[in-house]
Structure 1
Amino acid sequence: MTKGTTTTLPANDGYPGLQVTWTKDCRPAFHNGIHAAERWLNGKRSHWLWAALIFERDALPDETDRKAFEVAFMSRVQQRLEGTS
C-alpha cells in the first residue's frame, strides 16, 4: 500500500492551514483550487462563487484531482470567512 501524497494549504487571513494526504499526487489540482478561490475572493472573477468552483473543477479529468480542487477551493474560502469574523 502506498502512503500517498500530502498537500498543504498554508495558513491565511489569520486562520490555520490544513494538510491532506491523497492516494495519488494531486498537488497541481490542489494548488489550482487555492488559486481559483483567491482569484474569486480578490474580485478577479465576476461570476458567482459556485460557477468559479464548478467550471474549473469539471475541467479536471480525474475524480481525485476534482476532490483535491474542491477541498482546497472551499478551504481557502472558509479561511477568508473565518478571518473576517
Structure 2
Amino acid sequence: MDENYISIPAAYGSPSLLTPWGKEFSPMIERGVQCAQAWLDAPGDVPLWWELAQTRKTFPAGCCQDAFEAGFLLRIQQRLGGTSR
C-alpha cells in the first residue's frame, strides 16, 4: 500500500480501500467516512443522498469535495460489499 495516499479503514468484512488522494486531504476523507458511518448507524428520516449533498457543501469546491465524497461513498461501498457475503 502506498503510504503517500489515504486509505479508508476496513469495515463490515470488507478490506481497507486506497484513495487517490494524499495526506493533505485526510480531514475531508475522514469526514466523509464519519458522515456515512453516522448515517449507517442511525439512518433516521434523513435520506442518504441529502446527507451527502448537504455535508459536501461544507467543503470548498473541487478536490476537497471530491475527497469527502470518496470517503463517504467508499464507506457505503464497504457496507454493501460486506452485506452481500
TM-score range relative to shorter protein = 0.7 to 0.9
1:23–1:42 Cα change, 3 Å: closer
Counterpart for residue 74 of structure 1: 73
Q: Is the 8 A contact 2:5 2:23 kept in 1?
A: no
Q: Is the 8 A contact 2:36 2:72 kept in 1?
A: yes
Deviation, structure 1 residue 62:
3.9
- In structure 2, distance between residues paired with 1:11 and 1:23: 18
C-alpha RMSD of matched pairs (Å): 1.7
1:15 aligns to what SS in structure 2? coil
- Unpaired runs of 5+ in structure 2? none
Give the % identical residues.
Answer: 36
1:23–1:15 Cα change, 3 Å: closer
Amino acid corresponding to residue 18 of structure 1 in structure 2: L
1:83 aligns to what SS in structure 2? helix
Amino acid corresponding to residue 56 of structure 1 in structure 2: T
Choose 33-42 or 5-14, whichever is displaced more: 5-14
- Unpaired runs of 5+ in structure 1? none
Please list every run of at least 4 consecutive aligned residues from structure 1 whose deviation after the TM superposition is greater than 4 angstroms: none
TM-score norm. by structure 2 comes to 0.85
Deviations for 1:16-38, whole angstroms, at most 9, x for unmatched residues? 11122326711100000000000
Counterpart for residue 28 of structure 1: 27
